[in-house]
Amino acid sequence: RFAWAVQPRNYILASCHTANVLAQSNQVRRWAEYRQQVNPQGATSEIATIGGTLGAIGAVVVGTMLVRKPLQNALVTSKSVPGMMSSLAAHPAGPFYIHFWAPNFKWMLSVNNLLDYDRPVEKISVSMMSALTLTGVIFMRWSFVITPVNYSLFAVNLALSASSGYHLGRKLKADYVDTK
């Protein structure tokens, strides 16, 4: 959704997100098949529980989308809401738009990298850290090209490229420099 909501539209990001959703859906299907092979008696209830949880999450998302505009209008027009909160609610990169939430969820990647600062280099993936570093660098630039300009997106991608670049540097040093 984020790739479609920004201007100019990012068709490459939209196609990557679509491919990711399809790949993750396939992983869920494979997990369900595996659970049924390993534990035929308990798998059905386990799969049903996960399905119910995902259904509840979907209902919350749909409900949130339905009340977002009326809630935003109430916050923007209310005289009892402080000016800063009203301005934040009205901003095109504020909490009532995807421009706010996409970068904030992306912080989990950076936080994970920061928490793993001393991870053994044997467990660091060159391809994953290269992809994360490059993603951070590309989207730092993208955050200033899109409308609205998104400083939160810039900050999260700066942290992502720096933290994953740190791990990538550690891995390359261990594999190619320290082996001599």
pLDDT in tens, 138-164: 889 988 988 788 888 899 999 999 999
Alpha helices in the chain (DSSP H): 2-5, 11-38, 40-77, 83-90, 98-115, 126-145, 151-172
CA atoms of 150 and 147, how far apart (whole Å)? 8
Q: Tell me, what's the pLDDT at 3? A: 63
pLDDT at position 122 is: 94
Q: What is the DSSP letter of 7?
A: B
pLDDT given at position 2: 59
Burial class of residue 106 in the structure, from the number of CB atoms within 10 Å of its CB (0-12 exposed, 13-18 middle, 19+ buried): buried
- Output DSSP code: residue 1: -
Q: What is the pLDDT of residue 4?
A: 65
The C-alpha atoms of residue 78 and residue 71 are separated, in whole angstroms, by 10
Q: What are phi and psi of 147, to 5 degrees?
A: -120, 120
pLDDT at site 163: 94
The pTM is what?
0.66
String of b and e for 23-34 (b: at least 16 CB within 10 Å)? eeeeeeeeebee
* Cβ count within 10 A of residue 165: 18
Mean predicted lDDT score pLDDT of the chain: 87
CB 89, CB 72: distance < 8 Å: yes
Specify the DSSP class assigned to residue 72: H
pLDDT at 57: 92
The amino acid that residue 153 corresponds to is L
Residue 65: pLDDT over 80? yes
The pLDDT > 70 percentage for the chain reads 94
Give the span between the Cα atoms of 95 and 38, in whole angstroms.
43
- Whether the predicted pLDDT of 179 surpasses 90: no
